[in-house]
Each structure stands twice: as C-alpha cells, then as structure tokens.
Structure 1
Amino acid sequence: MNNLLSPVTQLWARLRLNEIGPLLSLAACGFFAWAFISLADEVVEGETHALDSAILLSLRDPQDLANPLGPSWLEEAARDFTGLGGYAILTLLTSAAVIYLLMAGKRSAALLVLVSIVGGALLSTGLKMGFERPRPDLVPHAARVYTASFPSGHAMLSAITYLTLGALLARVEKSRRISAFIMSLAIITTLMVGVSRVYLGVHWPSDVLAGWSVGAAWASLCWFVALQLQRRGQVEKPGETSTPPVDAEPP
C-alpha cells in the first residue's frame, strides 16, 4: 500500500508545484486586482463616503469624537497593532528574513523576497501620489500620519510582507497543520493592522480594503513568479540551498 501511495504523493506534489499552485496564485492576483480597481472607481466617484463616514463615527464616543469606543487599553492595543504595519517593523522583518535566507544559502529566494517587498513599497507610494485622497477629517487622529490616505500603506505593506513571508515559511514546513497555522497567523496579523487604522481614525475603511486588495494582489503575483522561477530551477526548492552552509562538515 505504501509503495502505491509514494508515487501518488510525488505526482500530487509535482502537480501542485507545476499546475495548481501557479493557477491559484494567478487567479488570486486577478481577483484582488479587480477588487481594488472596482473599489478605487467608487472612491473616486465619492460613492463610499457615506459608508466610510458612518463606520468612522460609529467607532467614536458621540459626546467626545476624540475618544474611541472602548476602554483605554483597547486604544493602546490598537496603536501596538498598527505598529506592526509600520515601516520600521516591516523593514526589520524583511531584513531579518533576507539575512536568514542568505545565511541558509537561498540567495535567489532572498532576492525574490527583497524585490517583492521593496517593489510593494514603491507601488504603495505611487498609488498614494496618484490618488492623493485626504485623510479622514471627521474625527481627531489617534496616531501620527504623514502621507495621503488611499490606499492604506499599513494595510497594503502588511499584506505584502506577512503574506509573502508566511507563504515562504508555510512552504518549507512539512506539516499541513503547521503550514495552516502560519498562514492563518499572517492573515490575522494583516487584518488586525488594517482594523487598527480605522479604529484610530487615520484611514477611511475603504482605504484599508483597498490596501488589503492591492497588497494581496501583489503578493499573489510575486508568488506566481516565484513558482515559475522555481519550476525553471532559478529559485531554490524547499530544502535546497545554492551553497553548502558555512558550518557544514566536509564529507
């Protein structure tokens, strides 16, 4: 029985790498790109303003709009969560991941991660400059802001960074349960960062939805490219290294 399962397992793994994985990643890229374009069109036409305003006001004390609903610790927790999508934290995580991949001999994978996240940051900046949507002015901001509002850079870059790194870690993990846990953690972190931006009053809800959409689209596109390069042997497969570890013993 085991002898029969082994070829089937190998065939499924090969099929997942060569056919299903690229197809799903490309489909996800198309879906999220369509979601962003549709949402951006509604934002430009002002169709989201009423709902955006209602959600923002619903999260504030009607007697004091400077005070978000909930206990004081919740506001402080929101600031902690929003920090996970800040440039400093994401730069630290990206640098650590790239250095680790280089030390593990996965130079192509390290370059791919770096290009994916830096490219996403440039895309975020370009989109903000293109739309130039003002920040919400209905409620006082509970965190400092320096750039335009649409799309949310925190939501977009956290989606790109956490989903890219999560997918990378999940792929090298043999256990499906652990892989699912890693991806779930990446998704939950991305969602919490975006929600915190709305709760703190520094983004319209549509900004965050747009950031999630374009971030997921970019991450899916990068993963599609990674699978194509991996199939051609230009990016190391899980478990492979381009050079032997420095501390490896000679045969």
Structure 2
Amino acid sequence: MKQNSEVGHYIDMLKTPSVQVILLGTCFVLVMLFVHLGVSQSMDEALYASLQLNTDAPKWVADVLRDITALGSNTVLLFVAVVVVVGLAMHKQRNKAYTFALAVLLGLCIAFALKAGIDRPRPPLSQHNVDVYTQSFPSAHATLSTLVYFYLAYLLCHFSSHRKVNAFTYFAAAFLVFAIGLSRVMLGVHWPSDVLGGWFAGGSVVAICLYIIKWKQKLHISKTEPVQPKEQ
C-alpha cells in the first residue's frame, strides 16, 4: 500500500504544470544542445533513412502524408487558434483566451527565432516531397501542433468529468501530433530530432499556459476569500 501511495504521489507531481515546465523545458534544451553540438546527427541520419518514403510507394501514400502534414501548417493551426480564442471570449473565458493567444504567438516566436539562430540545414533537397522555406530546427509543425491540439484537448477535458472521454481526447491529440511529426520526416523535410525538439518546445509552452491559468485562478480565489476578523 505504501509503495502504491508513493507511485500515486509521483504521478500527481507529474500532473502539476510547474513540474511539467521543468521536465519538458529540460528535455528541449538537451535536444537543442545535442543538435547544436552535432551529437544527434548520426542517429538522425539513420532514422531519417529508415523512415524515408520509398520512391516506388503508391502516389496516394504521399498524398495522405501531405494531408496529414497540412493539419500542422501555420494556416490551419492559426485558423483553429482564432476559432478557439473567439469561442472562449464569447463564453466569458477571457483568461483562457488571452493565455492561449499569447501561447500561440510565443510558440511562433520561439520556433522561428530558434530556426534563425541555430540555422540547421534541412535534409537533402532531392528527398523533399513538399516545399519548405525556413531552416530545420525545430519543426514549426511539431511545435505549433503540440501547442494548439494539446491545449484544445485540455479545454475539452475541462468541460468533461468522464475519465474515459478525457483519456480518449488526450490520446487523439497525441496521435494527431505524432502523425504530423512523423509525416514531416517521411516527406523528407525534417530530421527526427527537429520533430522531437518541436514536441518538447510546444509541450513546454502548453505547460506554461496551464501554470499561468492555475496561478490566476489561485490569485482570484485569494482575492475573493473573506478576510477573517482578528480576535481581540
């Protein structure tokens, strides 16, 4: 029983946004360092070669991969973000709306600032199955899809008390984000560590969002609690 309670305690710790920020942020920094120092390059090349779309693969496979990768494009994700922000504002959830809008802007800035700063070359141009115009690390598709779809999953679960429904919602978000990231490698435009770094970067921003939301909730509760009169 004691062992089970300790495991439950650690699981509860992992659910706290502050711990998630530290863990995800640390993982992102490690991946970024490995990429910058060239430590991950040999593993990247091996994984990239094994995941490459074969030249003799049916045309529909490439079409499906392009459709999947489009779900992580800036156009689609910004459209989803605008709809979510407007919906939250209309339902008087302004704190969540502002936080989400700020998170999307932060995610965009982080992704493209790091692309310019690290300036990692893309995989060989001859392997590309879609057009790309920016540097490789981190994958903006992976970063922003993680941010948008996991935050959306959090919002949906916030309005549901069914554990199975919530578990399925998070699983669906994770599956979609994984599929988008995998499609970037299979289409030949990203190294695997680009995608991994994007997942950790997007996850870190989501965790920061949740931390801000909980902090604001605690601040609001402390302000609305009645002050107890001091005993004379």
What TM-score do you get using the length of structure 2 for normalisation?
A: 0.84
Question: What one-letter code is carried by the residue in structure 2 that aligns with 1:205?
Answer: P
Deviations 1:34-78 (A, max 9, x none): 1111111111121211111122222347xxx7x2x7432221111
- Conserved? CA contact 2:95–2:213, under 8 Å: no
Q: How does 1:51-200 map to 2 (within 5 A)?
A: 51-60=43-52, 67=55, 70-137=57-124, 139-200=126-187
Pairing 1:42–2:29 present? no
CA separation in 1, counterparts of 2:164 and 2:15?
A: 23
In structure 1, distance between residues paired with 2:141 and 2:218: 32
Q: How many angstroms does 1:22 deviate by?
A: 9.2
Give the letter aligned to residue 141 of structure 1. Answer: H
Aligned match of 2:194: 207
CA RMSD of aligned residues (A): 1.9
Secondary structure in 2 matching 1:233: helix
More moved, 69-78 vs 202-211: 69-78
5+ residue gaps, structure 2: 1-11, 222-232
The structure-2 alpha-carbon separation of the partners of 1:72 and 1:23, relative to structure 1 and needing over 3 Å to count, comes to: closer
Given the alignment, which residue of 5, 19, 25 partners 2:17? 25
Tell me the distance in 1 between the aligned counterparts of 2:191 and 2:162: 39
Q: Aligned partners of 2:94, 2:34: CA distance in 1, in Å?
A: 42
Tell me the distance in 1 between the aligned counterparts of 2:13 and 2:37. 36
Where in structure 1 are there 5+ consecutive unaligned residues?
1-19, 235-251
- Select 1:227's aligned residue among 191, 195, 214: 214
Q: Which moved more, 1:114-123 or 1:21-30?
A: 21-30
Structure 2: distance between partners of 1:187 and 1:58? 22
**Post-superposition offset of 1:139:** 4.5
Q: Quote the Cα distance in structure 1 between the aligned partners of 2:13 and 2:75.
A: 32
> Displaced runs of 4+ in structure 1, greater than 6 A?
none
TM-score between both structures, scaled by the size of structure 1: 0.78
Per-residue CA shift, 1:158-204, capped at 9, x if unaligned?
Answer: 11111111111111112111111111111111111100000000000
CA contact (8 A) 2:107 2:144 kept: yes
Overall identity of the aligned pairs, in %: 32
Partner of 1:10: none
- Separation in 1, partners of 2:57, 2:216: 48
Name the amino acid aligned to 1:59.
L
> By how many angstroms is 1:115 displaced?
0.9
How many pairs does the alignment contain?
Answer: 210
Q: Which has the larger displacement, 190-199 or 116-125?
A: 116-125
